[in-house]
Amino acid sequence: MAKFECSTCGFIYDEALGCPEDGIEPGTPFSELDDSWCCLECSAPKEDFFHTI
């Protein structure tokens, strides 16, 4: 499982944790998130995230 960081605000999407509050189950790969998905903190588009850790 990987982590992806928003280059705008630093929000981390952790594939292991998902975002249950946003309907994304734990274990959901970043690549499977809809292309229209955006940062939960600042609404930056998915393409503004980069692989980290």
Q: What is the pLDDT of residues 7-46, one digit of tens each?
A: 999 999 999 999 999 999 999 999 999 999 999 999 999 9
| Ordered domains of the chain (ranges, CATH) | 3-36 (2.20.28.10)
Q: Give me the DSSP letters along 11-46.
A: -EEETTT-BGGGTB-TT--GGGS-TT-B-TTT--BG
pTM, full prediction: 0.91
